[in-house]
Structure formats: C-alpha cells, structure tokens
Structure 1
C-alpha cells in the first residue's frame, strides 16, 4: 500500500486537502446545530429531521444533475469551485439565524453547494487513477476529509470551553472556507479519452442490472441512516456535557481518518463487497446498542469509535464500487445516480427517525435504523452481483 500511496497523482492529494479544509469548517458547525436548535431556537427533533431531510434531498437531486453535466461537458473543475464556495460562505450565516426556518434555508444553501460539487469531484478523482488504485485514492480522500472532521470539533470544543457563544463559533467558519476556495483554483481536469455518452445514458433504463441492484441496496441502507445529528442528540440526552459533544464526534472522525485509507486499499485486493457487508453490520450493531443505552459511560465512547470504523470501511469503498460498475464515458452520471439514491432517501430517513424519536421513543428510532442496516448487509452479500477485486482483473 505504501508504494502505491506515494505514487498517487497530485490531483488526489489536492482534492484530499480541499476536503480536509472544508470539513474543518463544516465540523466546527455541524455538531453544534442540534444544540443551537434545542437551546437557543427551542426546536425539537421533528424540526431537526425536517431540516436535515430537506437539505440532503436537495443535495441528492443536484448531484445527479451535476454528474450528468460533467459527462456532457467533460468539465468538473467549475462545478467543484462553485460548490465549495457556496457552501463555505453560507455556513457562517448560522450566526445570524433567529428561527429554525432560517437554519433550514442556510442548510439548504450548504447542501446545494455539496450537490453541485460532489459528483464532479468524485468523477475527477476516479479519472485521475488506474482501477487498481481506485479504492486507495478514495480512501486517502476520505482519510483527509475525516482529518478535517477531527480538527473542526477540537477547535469548536476549545472555543466553547473558553466561553465563546455558539454564534461566534459559527462566524469563525468563514476563515477555512476562504482557504478552501483558493485551493480549488489549483485543480486540473483529468485527461479524457472516454467515448461520448448517449443522450439517454442518464435514464434509469440505461443503467446496468447489477448497478441498479447496488443502488437499491444503498437506498435501503440510507433509509435507516438518518442524520448523524441524531447520534449527537442521543449522546446529549444520555448525559454527555455540551462541551464534550464535539469531542465525541471528533473521536468518530479520528477512527474514520485512521482506517479509511488502509480499509479502502484492502478492498482493491479482496473486493468491495466484503468491506461493505462488514460495515453495514457494524452500523446495525451501533444503532442497536444506542437504542438500549441507559447512560453516558465509557461504552458510549466505544460505540462512537465503532461508528467511525463503519465510516472507514464504507465511505471510500462505496464510491470505488461505483467507478467499477460504471459504463465507459458515464462515470459522472454513475456518481450522480449513486449520490441521488443515497441522498434522496435522507428526507424520509431523517423525517421518520425524528418522528419515531419524538412521537414514540429513541429506542424505536434506533432499532428501525439497525433493521435497515441488517437487511442491507444481507442483500449486499447475496443479491448484488459480486465482482472480482480490481487488482485481479
């Protein structure tokens, strides 16, 4: 792995560093939104579920749109730049939000930026490496992204510990956003020898049967994979101090950062399916344990570490498998469909989770998520066609 790591092209590292800086800004803010909604704006889990569901569904629709445009125009860089800029400059506006409706609008702007940049960025990353190193490349990107998710919560925890109000923490997120935008100017388009896609290549009917099955499993898993903010809300209810909430999320990011590159690189050798089945199973175990957790003790920190291991084993591998299954000339479209399948289900996922959480119980909500993950692991193992490891083809 180490020899291949040092041979990765400049584009992989630059995309990873941009992700690191952007996630530093995002995760200064992200873990604090449920606290801000509950303690300042007096909004409950249902409002949180609606905000996150609408925001992620908006991003999902734009990911398909931007992915198709990448294949049509053969240009990814402009969409990456606009996407990071829109999200980065919108995020600090949370400091001015006076109601949960304003939080919704700001989150929508943030997710619009994510929708515009994600599929083009993934296509640019996939096109910059050979298939044998695809898992490693996405693992490096996810590792650096999670490194930013470590830095952000630590900075936020330090600010809160020093007595800084939540609004000021939000405002400081502008600085890394500016740095991130400047770095995007250094990106270069990947050499493109792909055939031109047909006009109907973005339609559902134009996708291969195996890829459709994969998308359906991703959609089912996402139905039980509601916003991570509910994990932080659960931790707070179990007794975790407000200043420790960012640290708890930082632990998730540390584990994901350390595990992303080696686990994703491992999928280049043993195949993607094994990692995804194991990751989905780990997610289900974490959610079952959180459903039955009675108080905040050392086991809660262990559960959040296991959640980080789930992220490490799945985030990069899921995206590498998309490139493996994509038709020639349609990588942008394939990533658009993948991101749509994952993102569009976040609206019912977060809404249902919030409704179960507030209207029934936290136990019922987390058990529902665990059930979806368990079924997804079974279908991934037995229903989605198994492909050979990329390094053996």
Structure 2
C-alpha cells in the first residue's frame, strides 16, 4: 500500500515502545497458538471429550479471558500503572504451559486453558490502553494495526513450530506443550525488561476514589455504548476458532500432525490484513472499514458452510483470518478514538466484557449445533448472525453524532 508523501502519518515514526509490546505479543502468541491449535484435537482424540464439551470449554475460557479484561482495564486506570498488570497476565499464561504438558485428564486441560486465557485477559486490556497512550494521534490506527499484525505473525509462526514439533516428536502432545513454554518465557522477559509505562501513567497520582463509578460509565459516551451494541451482536457470530480445526479434522480428514496448518493460514491472513487496514484507517472512515470486515465474515461463513473439499474449506479459513484482522484493529482504534484518555483502560475493559458475554453464548451455540447437525451448520448460523451485525452497524452508526452531542 502506497502512502502519499503529504500524509502526516508517513512522517511520524512508530514509537520503539510499540515495537517492544508487539515483540512480546509475538512471542506469547507463538506459544499460545501451539497450545490452542492442538488442545482441541488432544481432548477429542486422546482424552475422548465430546465436541459439545469442547465447544463449551472454549466458550468458558474465552469468556473468562474477556471478563477479567474489564477489571484489569479499570484498575490500570485507577492505579495509573499498566505494565505491572501486564506482567501478572504474562506470568499466568506462562504458568499454564507446564500444567498442560503434565495433563492427563479433562480437568487438567480445563485448568490450564482457564489460566492461559485469564492471563491473556489480564494483560491485554492494559496493553491495548498502553498502545493508545503511546501512539501519536496521527498514526493511532497504524500503531494498533502494527501491534495486531506482530501478534498474529507470532500466531502464524507458532503454527509452523507446531507442525514441526508434532512431526519431530512423532505426535507427542506432551513434548510439544513443553516446547510451547519456551517462547512464553521469552515474551515475559521482554515485557519485564524492555517495556515501560507511558509517561502520563508514570507521572499521574493515584486517584483516591472507588475504581468503578457510574459517572465514569456515563463519561464513556453514547457513541461508545452504541459501538458496544454492535460489538456484542458481531461477537455472537464468532463461534470459536476451534470449530475451524474440528471442521477440517472431522469433515475433511486433516491429520493431527497438520492441524496447525489451519492456524498458520488463519493467522497469516489475519496478520497480513491488520497493518495495512490500520494504516488505511488513518486516512478513511474506520466505521466503513468495520462494515467491510463484517461483510468479509459473511463471505468466510459461506465458504466454510458450503465447502465440498479441503481446498474450499481452506479458502474459508483464509477469509476468516482476514475478517479478524480488519474487525479487531478497527474496534481497538475506534474505542481509543471515542473514550477519554483517563478512561481508556475502562473503555477497553467493557468492550471485552461485552465480548465475553457474546462469546460464551457463541461458543456454546457453535459446539451444540456442531454436535447435533455438523460443523457446516455452525458456520451457517454464524453467517446469519454476521448479516444481523452488519445491519445493526448500518442502523446505529448514523446516530453516533447525535449521541456524541
């Protein structure tokens, strides 16, 4: 993508701290995608867990992650410290790796996955708020897109590592889970030694009041809450990336050794979309790009629901990754645009809480439909909900100026 020389964003460099946060995200995602990519198949083929239970587990762990995000965001605003909360989150996610490597029951896997996702939830909201704190106004979309792109590049690389590790260990899940511990530790160390809080957070004095106030929720503004309605409807269509893996494995015969290829493809297109879309959003309407992301979700669901061979199914996976890259970057940038600076963590936190409620419903729905009618029907339902979310965006967004005034 070519940026005109007159563009201000082309002359404003991305701060080094954003790159450091992105590198830490890259490494933790290398680890996470190995765990995520194999845990569903591990539960299904080794532990014999029913698909419905896997869908419920994914919904619960994602909801756990999103639910704690609201509290970590609120407290990062209250304490005026973001890095320490991020360190705790990275630490929990790192601790989850050896627990999974030692697991031999559904309960142990459940514990590991919950710890992993809670750790992710604890660190992600102050991370997103810190990116907003450190980003120059003229390249805010670029900074969010870059961070998202580096994170998903880590997921892409993690998929490659997962395939190689499964082949080298002769499909020994436990050894592969031990390998996944290494990049998690590296990411934690980079966060500790290379990332600092923003100057505004470091210089601020602690506010002697209750961390959550009704007045603060009102200050977030009508436009913000309209955006939360749109996000809540859209997240109901996110039936869980575990369904992509099970669809390929159950219906198209993709072997366990090559399951991480699904995440390589999905995260590769996600990463490729995030950064250019972020840069583009500094020049055109972020709401328009968000609507395009919703439309791309519908296209992905059509491909996944109607696939008759692995090639078409993989096309659907690739398009699914593109819609994540578009929508996640746009939601982040729009929230940073909308909320007051001192409530940025709170704003991101309630976005994640909204998403948590929707995702546990989506995961439960997706797993149940897949168990009763097959994975293809799950993506049909997702496409219908995606169309509803696009209609909701088109209906509500024209009123955002009135809500702001």
Question: TM-score, normalization: structure 1?
Answer: 0.93
Alignment of 1:73 onto 2:95: no
- Alignment CA distance shift 1:6-1:259 (3 Å): farther
Deviation at 1:335, TM superposition (A): 0.5
Deviation at 1:221, TM superposition (A): 1.0
Query: What residue in structure 1 maps to residue 366 of structure 2?
Result: 353
Deviation at 1:8, TM superposition (A): 0.9
* 1:14 equivalent among 17, 20, 33: 20
Deviations 1:288-342 (A, max 9, x none): 221222332x222222221221122122111000011112421010010111111
Query: What residue in structure 2 maps to residue 372 of structure 1?
Result: 385
Q: Is the 8 A contact 1:131 1:324 kept in 2?
A: no
- Alignment CA distance shift 1:202-1:343 (3 Å): farther
Deviations 1:15-63 (A, max 9, x none): 1000101101111221111110111000121111121111121222211
Deviation at 1:98, TM superposition (A): 1.7
Partner of 2:283: helix, strand, or coil? Answer: helix
Deviation at 1:249, TM superposition (A): 1.5
Q: Is the 8 A contact 1:129 1:137 kept in 2?
A: yes
**d(CA) in 2 for partners of 1:184, 1:202:** 33
Q: Is the 8 A contact 2:96 2:115 kept in 1?
A: yes
**d(CA) in 2 for partners of 1:374, 1:111:** 28
Alignment of 1:173 onto 2:180: yes
Deviation at 1:134, TM superposition (A): 0.9
Partner of 2:308: helix, strand, or coil? Answer: coil
* 2:308 equivalent among 294, 300, 323: 294
What does 1:182-193 align with in structure 2 at a 5 Å threshold? 182-185=189-192, 186-192=194-200
Alignment of 1:52 onto 2:58: yes
Q: Which runs of 4+ in 1 moved over 3 A?
A: 1-6, 193-199, 201-207, 385-388
Q: Is the 8 A contact 1:66 1:117 kept in 2?
A: yes
**d(CA) in 2 for partners of 1:19, 1:324:** 23
**d(CA) in 2 for partners of 1:114, 1:126:** 18
**d(CA) in 2 for partners of 1:270, 1:184:** 33
**d(CA) in 2 for partners of 1:204, 1:364:** 38
Query: What residue in structure 1 maps to residue 133 of structure 2?
Result: 127
Deviation at 1:252, TM superposition (A): 1.6
Count of residue pairs brought into register by the alignment: 387
Query: What residue in structure 1 maps to residue 148 of structure 2?
Result: 142
- Alignment CA distance shift 1:204-1:349 (3 Å): farther
Deviation at 1:5, TM superposition (A): 8.0
- Alignment CA distance shift 1:385-1:22 (3 Å): farther
- Indicate the RMSD between aligned Cα atoms, in angstroms: 2.1
Query: What residue in structure 1 maps to residue 226 of structure 2?
Result: 213
Query: What residue in structure 2 maps to residue 83 of structure 1?
Result: 89
Query: What residue in structure 1 maps to residue 292 of structure 2?
Result: 278
- Alignment CA distance shift 1:220-1:277 (3 Å): same
- Alignment CA distance shift 1:202-1:141 (3 Å): farther
What does 1:36-51 align with in structure 2 at a 5 Å threshold? 36-51=42-57
Q: Is the 8 A contact 2:171 2:257 kept in 1?
A: no
- Alignment CA distance shift 1:148-1:197 (3 Å): farther
**d(CA) in 2 for partners of 1:202, 1:180:** 37
Partner of 1:140: helix, strand, or coil? Answer: helix
Question: TM-score, normalization: structure 2?
Answer: 0.90
Query: What residue in structure 2 maps to residue 239 of structure 1?
Result: 253
